[in-house]
Structures are given as structure tokens and as C-alpha cells.
Amino acid sequence: MSTRNRVRVRLGRGAGGRVAGCLPALRHGLGADAEGPGKARRSVHARRLDRACPERLPRAPARGRARGRVRPPRAARARLSRRGQGDGARAVLSRRGALRGCDRDSSAGRCRCNPHRRGTARAVRDHNRKRPGRIEGQDLSHRPHRLVRRLRHHDRTCRRRARPHRCGRGDRARRRGDPRTRSLGRAHPRLSKVLVREPIAEAGIRLLRDRGFEVDVDVDSNLADTIGGYDAIVVRSATKLTADLIERAGRLKVIGRAGVGIDNVDVDAATRRGIVVANAPESTVVSAAEHTIGLLVALTRNIPQAHAALKQGRWERKTYGGVELAGKTLGVLGFGRIGQQVARRAAGLGMRVVAYDPFVSPERFRELGVEQVDGEGGVYEAADFITLHLPLTDETRGSIGAEAFARMRDGVRIVNAARGELVDEAALLAALRSGKIGGAALDVFSEEPYAGPLLELDNVVVTPHLAASTEEAQDRAGVIIAEQVAAALEGGLVSNAVNIPVIGAEDLEVLGAYIPLAAKLGRLAMELAEGRVDELRLTYFGGLAQYDTRLLTVAALNGAFQGRSDRPVNYVNAPVIAAERGVEVREERSRSSRDFTNLVRVEAMSAGETLRVAGTTIGNDDRPWLVSALGFELDMELAPLLVVFRYDDVPGVIGKVGTLFGASGVNIANMTVSRTRRGGQALMALSIDSQASPELVAQVHAEFDDARFLSLR
């Protein structure tokens, strides 16, 4: 039988009798020593020596507690707590103060533990407030492998641990970082509220709520009274958001149109207020294309008329004969997403397709096997059927009128499932009655609901704006617009915004790093310019020139007008503010770049003088870097706080600047100096870590004629 030295503990006077009296109770039920013949020694942790050694002389029990409730410690097992087993012996003893005159008493003259026993070295912290966990085990070395101060925790003398030791931060650290205590008394940020004015997919509403927004579905209240209490509103086609309603919406940040068309939203009024307007253009593409083909087939085969006659009991096979689509020519005006899907389906019906859209590349036409024609006239002259997929603008409104009909083939048939205002309905009525137009299939009208004279004609097929009315389209529209609204409220990229330049995900991978650079350069140019700025010119060099850089231009304008307007400036209304102030904005691109792969230059024209600043990004984190300003080449990061000096190139200037800032306690983080020629003009630019005091600003201006303190925050 192996032997093991027991721990010797000195007890206070009078404690021995109490211990002797409680010994049978404590030893009752503990069982035989685990170290019997043929049995291996149990593993012992240095911090749990009292639990693992039953022969240790026990302490006095807690006064007034029933000894029968005391439970023995369990055998050493990995990572098991006493949950559900009541108090252990150590926990009961911890509530008694009989042994206070020992190592946890702040008045103790010395530590009463035997300092030379093996296996009692305090665990070494491997980092802040952390000791080896149970799963790691612990070496029972003779002493720690380096000096460690033994903490006695005198401030907690009576709070012996009654639960297993946890790895990680101590109790005090946990209390400081406990979110339950940190949140007490702290004001919570206001939740953004979203008004869903017309029914959308339940999945979209759930998405908004899951993102933490408060969503109200209200289709009946007076919108003029309620819109002021919301940060976002979601509508479909029935709700008209006029300029007056938008002016009442003091909190409104985003308008979401669950669909394609935005003619029921005053986009100009929203843009002036800095409100993002977003739609869901891809949600209804398939549904609209299929409905267009359905109208085309119904028109050529007189399906609605034959259906109505048969319902009335008339069997008229000869009256409602039609024509085949195969071999005919379909003209597509507007070759966007829907127009391309219609062309695919028409080609499947054996039709020849011609199309016109000045904004689509010839390669796209060739990919789809569609013949590209020059101008609307090419479509009018070639097509047997014409389908409209144009956006509604000032130029396209009413463009399909008497003049256009006169240029079309006799008997041509027209399909319109895009926008009712594209067609001059009075001219269409006259052309249908005269026979110039053989028939029309209409899903949209200039005024809806429509009850005009076109409904009286037999060669007109109509549906009540059903192109997007499919379950799939409505579900997609609800989810897409919910994502757009959430992105706008969270400060993310609103990919479907109609009043902000939108770029694709692939382009954003390249241009994203230059957005903050453009904003800082725009701010810097306006800060350095003296007097009123008449023109801002942005030039993009190198690889940037092959991308759509409109978003970078808007970012530069957003930075340029920060703090210079009586209303908040953002990416939506920055171009409007520039126009209102008479600032002309020009954008140029050049693929040649002498020193940098990509370079952004901002020029501010003021009173006939031109001020230029330029920058790029460097490093893996794409830090914005200033490379030139005021005609000097520089090399420094565009930090939030800058100071720029222009002076004669003489000795002692750098030292004078350092002395001034050092005496004021302002640290200079970076500094760059440039000069035109020796003994000529020089420029010093430096970034500082803290705001300069008014006294320092006054001292600098007293020493230098041209010194500017700039904030790019």
C-alpha cells in the first residue's frame, strides 16, 4: 500500500475539539481510501487538494446546520459540477468563520500553509486573468517556472469559493464586463420604424423585423398624419407619395417601391430631402415578360373575344380566326431586362426579333441573336408586332403617338405592358379606328382604373395592370425591397436605388476602396479653396477609367459639401445641392497614369484659379493617401486632422513647427515636406492626433502667413 504525506494544518486555539467532535459526521459515507492495494493513485489538482485527500484533518462544520445534509465531494472526474446535488463540504465550511485566523485573514502575520509541500505551486497565468482549465491539467512542479506573486485577496476574506473554479476572467472582470450591469441606466438607441403601406410578402416583413426594425402594416390610416413618425415606407403602385407628403416626413430616410415603376413617387422631392428611393426591378422581370407574350398570343388569335362569344352561347369559328407568330417580325423598343426576356421567348416561337436601345452594347444583341437597328424608325419599318419596354421619362412620355403610327407598317399590332403614359391614347384610338393599327394589347393606361373608349373596340385586348401580379413576383418584390430598406437604414449599399448611382458587385470590389478617398479629396479641395467654387472637376486615371465612376463623383460631392449646407448632406442630395449652388460638376477619365496604377484628382475652380488635390490608396487595408496638393508632391495618409503650411524654403521652419506643437501638448503623427526648388516655396503637411487648441491656432497664425487647420472628419 502506497503512502502519501498528509497536509499538516495548524488550527486556532479551541478549534481542535470542534474538529474532533465533527470527525465522525464528516467521515461518514466517505468510504475506503481509493489508494487500496492494486489501485492506481487518483489524479489530484493542486487547487483541489482538500477534495482529493479524504484523510485530511477536516475543519469545523457550519454552526447551526444539520450535519446529515453535508455531502462528500465526488471522486475526481473531468469537468463535472455539483449541479443538483446540494452543497458540498467545502461550500458548507465556507460559510463559517472559525478558521479566519488563517491565510485569508488580512491580519494574519504569515501564511499558515506549509510553503514547502509539493504540488501546491499556484497556477501560472498564461495571459490576462486566465489559468489553465481543467481539460488542460496541471503539472505538479516543485515551484512555478517563473516568479509569480501570490494573491491573497484580502478584500474578500470571508468569500471562499463555493463552486468549481472557472477558466478565464476573474469575478471582478466579469462583473465589469457583464452586459446586464453595463446596460443599466443607459439610453437605448431609437429603433427605426418602417411603415408598410400596401401588402407585401410576409417573408419581407419578417426579414425587416429580424433585422431589428419596428414594422407597422397600416393600409387604412391617413398617410399625411402618420408618415412623419417613420424612417422608411414601403409602397406598391396604389400609394401616391407626392411632394407634400414627403415634406411632412421629417424622419423619412428611404422609400421602398415593391415593384419596378416609380412614377407614383416624386423622386425629385425625395432627392432634395436626401431620401433614398429604391425599387425591385428584377422581381417582376419574368412575370412581365410572360404576360407580354400572353397578350401577344391573345391579340393574334382573338382569344378574349372568342371566349366571350362562347360564354354568351355563340359558336363563331369563322369570325375569330387569327395569324401565326412564326416567321413574323417582333420589334422591341427598349432592350432592358424585360425586353431581353421577351426577345428570348419570341425567338422560341420562331419569330425574328429586331430591337433598339442606345444603352445596350452590340455584344449583348449578338449574344441573344437579336438584330440591332438604328433608332426607333428601324423598328417601325421592320416590325409586324411592336412591344414597348421603355422607361418613362420626359422624352418617352407620349412618344408613341400619331407621328410614330404614321411611320409604322399598315396593320401593325402593338403590345404595351410597360407604362401607360408611353402611348398617346387619343392617337391610338384614331389609328385603330382607321385601320392603320391592326390591334392593340394593353395592360397599362395613362389613368388607372381605365374606363375610356378603347374598351369599346373589338381589336383591343386589355388586362387591368396584371403583368407583375403573380405570387412569385410579389414574394420576390417584398423580399427584395425589404433588403433594400434594411440596407439603407443600416448605412449599407442600396443596390437598387434610383436616385443614387448604382454599380455592380464586381465593380464595387474595385471602386469600394476609392469611395472614402474621393470623399476626403472633395472635402480637402473645398477646405483649401479660397472663395466661392464655381466648378468641381473630377478626373480618374489608370485602371479606374474603365469603370463607371459616378458613385465616386457623388462621394466627392458628399465630402465637399459637408458642413456647407443648411440641411444634412448625403449621397442622395449632394448633386442637387451642387446644382442649387451653381457649382458645375464635370467628370473625366484617362487610362494613362504616370506614377500610380489608379489615381483620383479633384480640381476646384474659383475666381479663375484652379486648386488641385490628388490621391490614391495603398496597403492591404486601402488607406487613403495624399500624393499632391497646391502644386506640391506629397506622401502622407489623409488623416482626420491635418495642418498645411506654405512658406519660404529657409532653415529652421520644421523645428519651429515641432516646438510650437510640442509645447501645446499636440502630438504630430505624420509629416511630409515638399518644395518646388531650393530656396523657393515649400509646403509642409502634417497630421495631428488631437484637435489644436485656440491658443495654438493663434500662435501658428502669428508665426506663419499661410497656415491652415483642416478637419476631414
Residue appearing with cell numbers 506663419? 704
Q: Could you give the CA distance from residue 441 to residue 462 in angstroms, rounded to a whole number? A: 6
Total residue length of the chain? 713
* Inter-residue contact 541 to 595 (CB < 8 Å): no
Catalytic residue among 419, 476, 523, 601: 419
Q: H or E segment at 675?
A: strand 668-675
Catalytic status, residue 42: no
Q: Are 380 and 408 in contact (CB under 8 A)?
A: yes
Query: Distance (Å, rounded) from C-alpha 222 to C-alpha 193?
Result: 17
Secondary structure tally for the chain: helices H, strands E: 23, 22
Instruction: Please report the DSSP string for 168-219 in residue order.
Output: SS-HHHHHHH-HHHHTTTPPPPPPPEEEE-S---HHHHHHHHHTT-EEEE-S
What is the helix (H) or strand (E) element at residue 625, kind and residue range?
A: strand 623-629
Residue 312 CB neighbours (<10 A):
8
146 is catalytic: no
701 is catalytic: no
**CA nearest 519: which of 640, 683, 608, 645?**
640
Cα–Cα distance for residue pair 197/235, rounded to 1 Å: 5
Q: Which three cell numbers stand for residue 474?
A: 410579389
Between the alpha carbon of residue 446 and those of residues 188, 293, 621, the distances in Å are 48, 22, 52
CB hemisphere CA count around 47 (13 angstroms): 16
Contact 331, 355 (CB under 8 A): yes
- SS3 of 217, please? strand
| Distance in angstroms (rounded) separating the CA atoms of residues 570 and 547 | 22
Neighbours of 519 (CB within 10 A): 24
DSSP 311-324: HTT---TTTT----
**70 DSSP β-pair partners:** none
Query: Residue 695 CB: number of other CB atoms within 10 A?
Result: 9
Q: Report yes or no: 22 and 61 within 8 Å, Cβ to Cβ.
A: yes
| SS3 assignment, position 154 | helix
Among 448, 509, 584, 588, the one annotated catalytic = 448
Q: What dihedral do alpha carbons 296, 298, 300, 301 form, nearest 10°?
A: 160
Contact 522, 557 (CB under 8 A): yes
DSSP string, 373-398: -SHHHHHHHH-SEEEE-----TTTTT
Nearest to 238 by CA among 472, 465, 470: 465
Query: What's the first-to-final CA gap in the chain, in angstroms?
Result: 77
Pairing of strands 668-675, 681-688: antiparallel
Name residue, grid cell 422631392. Answer: 269
Written as nine digits, the cell of 147 is 516568479
- What is the grid cell recorded at 232? 422608411
Q: Which of 465, 476, 523, 601 is catalytic?
A: 465
What is the radius of gyration, based on Cα positions, of the chain?
40
Q: What are the grid coordinates assigned to 705, written together?
A: 502667413
Amino acid at 573: N
Residues 474, 286 contacting (CB under 8 angstroms): no
Q: Is the preceding omega at residue 449 within 30 degrees of 0, hence cis? A: yes
Torsion angle in degrees (nearest 10) through CA of 462, 468, 472, 474? -130
Which residue numbers are catalytic? 419, 448, 465
